Amino acid sequence: LIMGILDKIKEIENEISRTQKNKATEYHLGLLKAKLAKYRAQLLEPQGKSAQKGEGFDVMKSGDARVALIGFPSVGKSTLLNKLTSTFSECANYEFTTLTCIPGVIAVARTADLVLIMLDAAKPDVHRSLLEYELESVGIRLNKRKPNIYFKQQKTGGLKFTHQVPLTHMNEKLVYTILHEYKIFNADIIFREDCTMDEFIDVISGNRVYLPCLYVYNKIDQISIEEVDRLAHQPHSVVVSCNVGLNLDYLLEMLWEYLDLICIYTKKRGERPNFSQGHELVMRNGCSVEDVAHRVHRSLVSQFKYALVWGSSVKFNPQRVGLTHRVQHQDVMQIVKK
C-alpha cells in the first residue's frame, strides 16, 4: 500500500515539474498540489485498522526541550552530541533514501521544539535543500509561521470566501477548486494576508508543524575562510568544527535563543538562592509563576499563597505576586504556602 502511494506521489511530482506555471495552468496545478498533500498525509497515517504495528518508535518527552538532530550519514552528528552533552551516543545510521519510507523515524521530528540540520561544509549546497524537501513532505515547516487564514468547516451554507488584503497568488475559483478536491463544500474562508496556494493547502490539511530550524555546518577546518564566511552568512546558520572544537559555544547560545528558554532560580525562606550550575529551573519564555510552581512540585499550586520575586520582571525587590505573574530570565522566586 505504501509503495502504491509513493508511486502516485512520484507521478504527481513529475507532472508538477513538467507543467509550466502560468494563468492557464494554475487551476490544474492547484488540483495536483492538493492531491499531493492528500497522499503525503496518508503516508503519515497508520494504514487501516488491520495495520501491522510497524518499525515506528516513540520517544518519551523528558528534559527541558527536545531537539531533532538530522543529517546525512557521517556529517558528525554523534561527535556533536558527545561534545555538547556528556553522553556517549550510539547511533543507528538509517541509509538515506527517502524519509517517507520510514515515516516513524521522521515523524518524531514533528514533536520536537527545534530542528537542528547538520551539514558537511565541504559538500554541495544541494544537501540542505534535499533535507528541507524531505521535512516539508512530512508536514514540517521550517522557520515559517502559520499562514494568517481563517478556515472553518460548516454543516451547511456552502463556501463563503472573503479576503481583507489584495491577493496576488490566489482567487475565488482557485480556492473552490482546491476545497472541492478535499470534498469540502461548506466552509468559511477569510484570507487575512496574501498567501500562496501551498500555504492555503497547509491550512486545510491542518496537520502542519511549524518549527524553528538551525543549520549547522560542520568540518569548517577543511574549507577556505571565504567559504566559511559565505556559509556563516546564510540565514539561520552556524559554522562549527566538532573535531577541533571551533564555535561550539556560539552554537549553544544560538540553541538557547532559538528554543526561547529562560532560567529561574528558587530560594527558601531565610536562605540565599543557589546560583550554581544545575540548580536553576529551565523554563519557556513567557511562563507564569504557576508554571514554575507546577515544575517545582505538582501539589504546590493548590497550597500556594503568594510568591516573592526578585529580578527584572518586578518593579520592587522583592515583590509579592500571584500565580498569573509572568517571570523573566534569571528571576529569583520564593513561594509562600498557605
Q: What is the CATH number of the domain that holds 330?
A: 3.10.20.30
pLDDT for 189: 95
**Any domain includes 265:** yes
CA dist., res. 87 & res. 69, Å (int): 15
Which residues, including other chains, have CB under 8 Å from residue 247's CB and lie 6 or more apart? Answer: 220, 238, 239, 240, 241
**Any domain includes 247:** yes
Q: Are strands 261-266 and 331-337 parallel, antiparallel or unpaired?
A: parallel
Number of separate domains in the chain: 3
**Any domain includes 17:** no
Residues 331, 269 share a domain = yes
pLDDT for 101: 44
**Any domain includes 249:** yes
pLDDT for 117: 94
DSSP state for residue 24 in the 8-state scheme:
G
Q: Residue holding cell 506521489? A: 9
User: For residues 86, 92, 96 and 102, what is the CA-based torsion angle, rounded to 10 degrees?
Assistant: -110
Residues 318, 329 share a domain = yes
Say if residue 55 is exposed, middle or buried (CB neighbours under 10 Å; 0-12, 13-18, 19+).
exposed
CA dist., res. 137 & res. 207, Å (int): 12
End-to-end Cα separation, the chain, in angstroms: 60
CA dist., res. 4 & res. 244, Å (int): 47
pLDDT for 179: 94
Q: Residue holding cell 554523534? A: 78
pLDDT in tens, the chain (338 residues): 667 888 898 999 999 999 988 888 888 999 999 999 988 888 777 655 444 555 555 566 667 888 888 888 888 888 888 888 765 555 555 545 444 445 556 767 788 899 999 999 998 889 999 999 888 888 899 999 999 999 999 999 999 999 999 999 999 999 999 999 999 999 999 999 999 999 999 999 888 999 999 999 999 999 999 999 999 999 999 999 998 889 999 999 999 999 999 999 999 888 888 888 878 899 989 999 999 999 888 888 999 999 999 999 999 989 999 999 999 999 999 999 98
DSSP state for residue 330 in the 8-state scheme:
T
pLDDT for 98: 47
Residues 239, 154 share a domain = no
Q: Where are the beta strands (DSSP E) in the chain?
A: 67-71, 114-120, 140-142, 149-153, 159-163, 187-191, 209-211, 213-218, 237-239, 261-266, 281-284, 304-310, 319-321, 331-337
CA dist., res. 146 & res. 2, Å (int): 29
pLDDT for 61: 63
Residues 322, 174 share a domain = no
Residues 329, 270 share a domain = yes
> Which cell numbers in the block locate residue 65?
526541550
> Which cell numbers in the block locate residue 182?
478535499
**Any domain includes 43:** no
**Any domain includes 11:** no
Domain termination residue (choose one: 205, 224, 249): 205
Residues 250, 122 share a domain = yes
**Any domain includes 294:** yes
- Phi/psi of residue 66, nearest 5 degrees: -120, 125
* The model's pTM: 0.80
Cβ atoms of 27 and 173 closer than 8 Å: yes
CA dist., res. 170 & res. 33, Å (int): 14
Residues 271, 331 share a domain = yes
**Any domain includes 9:** no
pLDDT for 48: 53
CA dist., res. 39 & res. 321, Å (int): 51
Residues 294, 236 share a domain = no
Which residue range forms the structural domain that includes residue 153?
149-205
pLDDT for 105: 60
Report the CATH number at residue 254. Answer: 3.40.50.300
